[in-house]
Structure 1
Amino acid sequence: MLNKVPEVTIYFWIIKVLCTTVGETAADFLNQNLGLGLTGTSLVMSVLLIIALYVQFRSPRYSPGVYWIAVVLISIVGTLITDNLTDNLGVSLEVTTGVFAVALAATFAAWYARERTLSIHTIYTPRREAFYWLAILFTFALGTAAGDLAAERLNLGYWPSALIFGGLIAIVAAAHFALHAGAVLTFWIAYVLTRPLGASLGDYLSQSPDDGGLGLGTVATSGLFLVTILAFVIYLTRTRRDATPAGTSA
């Protein structure tokens, strides 16, 4: 098989943030506007995610449409996992943040122990792909918990929170490009941080002005970002600008 995930380009990070924003606003829309509740929304989205991952695993190579559909769905499910633990089961955000951080670290440890690499440029076996998607799920759950912890405890507001997380990502990028910090480490740190960044942007756009947002609503915000994601996916499908061959070094 060829490499099953995209090259890390500017397109990758833009779409990743867009998917994260959709994960936040779509989860709110399904839960509140359609009245499915957290449990019902979680079941529906989990089934759709399983179907998307089945198609992804069956594909012999990276396909932008299949891949990014899976990311959108795993973003929603990761958000819902944290929301269920905190809202339905009463688990504190401090605990969920710690648990998901440990779960992500354990996934990386098991991945490296079995494969001797965490490079996303070598995802061309089913086992490596399974580790990859499990890590992705935990990054979204961890990002949700950590972002909510910062927002609820510090009460910073949506736009200031987005600026803070954007600044942290810029520091990680500078560490990689200027200080030559490890590509694998900086990639995964940035990947976790993009979740609260996208969620803060989504909340800022969708929530009412009384709550510190612009009042676009979850429908308009989700639709806007989904259309933008679709445009990028069509472009990448046609140009293959983000496809990489198997075996490229990290």
Structure 2
Amino acid sequence: MTVSGKETLAKVPAITLGFWLIKVLVTTLGETGGDAVSMSLGLGYLASTGIFITVFVALVALQIKAAGFRPFLYWATIIASTTLGTTLADFATRSLGIGYSGGSALLLSLLLLTLFCWQRLLGRIDVGSVQSPGAEGFYWLTITFSQTLGTALGDWTADTQGLGYMGGAAIFGGALLLLATLYYGTALSRTGLFWLAFVLTRPLGAVVGDFLDKPLAQGGLELSRFSASACLAAAVLLLIAALPQRAARKGH
């Protein structure tokens, strides 16, 4: 899709404050929703991952098939990726026994490899270039690894390092504020800062989600995972409807 013959609209949203507000909410929803299916329903990490990856692949196919940016479809796909990231990270770190640090290292390597291949093959990795099926494929693969990495990283910070959920939230929230300062105060790569921020919103959502539903004895609020997920989903829908949603642009 073109605008005035000079710019091409991407099939993903422009990066605005509204984008980041919704992103933090959906990553938190991914944590509570993923845990609701794998733990509260007792389906386990592997079966839950199978369910979520099926939904995610179907939504990615619809996303690629769509003629342009569709806000509700886009965010539904992000939610599917973040719930998949939750159960996939838990399966890798707990069921496979590689631990949070091992899982984080593996997922970081896969994320960097995906970005490297994307850059080498297509030349650009910014959101404005996400227009072709090839770019969309790399975009959603990058997002999947970032969501899964964020889950493992959040658990590693809160549990392995003993910082707790609020301590983890303070660290990742502070890191995001630092990135915002670098974005507005320096000439560092906007694309690099975007992907760093995208990764860091996921562990922030992970520790906040765990804070909402984990037992009081473990430092959580012990809320129902289903109730917390429903409230978060309602807030996401409200923000998508209320906040301006426009496609990212790529100037020719």
> Unaligned regions of 5+ residues in structure 1, if any?
none
- What is the CA deviation profile of residues 148-188 of structure 1, one whole-angstrom value per residue up to 9, with x for unaligned ones? 11122211111121111100111111111112321001100
1:114 aligns with 2:117: no
Alignment partner, residue 175 of structure 2:
168
Matched-pair contact (CA < 8 Å) for 2:125–2:191: yes
Code of the aligned partner of 1:156? L
- Of 139, 144, 169, 2:146 maps to 139
| Deviation at residue 244 of structure 1 after TM alignment | 3.0
Judged with a 3 Å threshold, the aligned counterparts in structure 2 of structure 1 residues 174 and 245 are, in CA distance, closer, same or farther, namely closer
- Of 171, 181, 187, 1:180 maps to 187
- What is the CA deviation profile of residues 116-157 of structure 1, one whole-angstrom value per residue up to 9, with x for unaligned ones? 111101211110111110100110111112221112221111
- What is the CA deviation profile of residues 63-118 of structure 1, one whole-angstrom value per residue up to 9, with x for unaligned ones? 01100000000001112111111221111222211111111111111111112111
Provide the rounded CA distance (Å) in 2 between the counterparts of 1:44 and 1:223: 19
- Of 70, 81, 88, 2:88 maps to 81
How many pairs does the alignment contain?
245
- Of 3, 9, 14, 1:7 maps to 14
For normalisation by structure 1, the TM-score amounts to 0.93
Alignment partner, residue 216 of structure 1:
223
Q: What secondary structure sits across from 1:180 in the alignment? A: coil
Code of the aligned partner of 1:64? P
Moved more, 5-14 or 41-50: 41-50
Moved more, 199-208 or 3-12: 199-208
Identity %: 33
1:20 aligns with 2:23: no
Alignment of 1:8-157 (within 5 A): 8-157=15-164
> Unaligned regions of 5+ residues in structure 2, if any?
2-8
1:243 aligns with 2:250: no
Q: CA RMSD in A?
A: 1.4
- What is the CA deviation profile of residues 12-68 of structure 1, one whole-angstrom value per residue up to 9, with x for unaligned ones? 101111111011111111112212111221111111111111111110101011000
| Deviation at residue 245 of structure 1 after TM alignment | 5.5
Matched-pair contact (CA < 8 Å) for 2:10–2:249: yes
For normalisation by structure 2, the TM-score amounts to 0.93
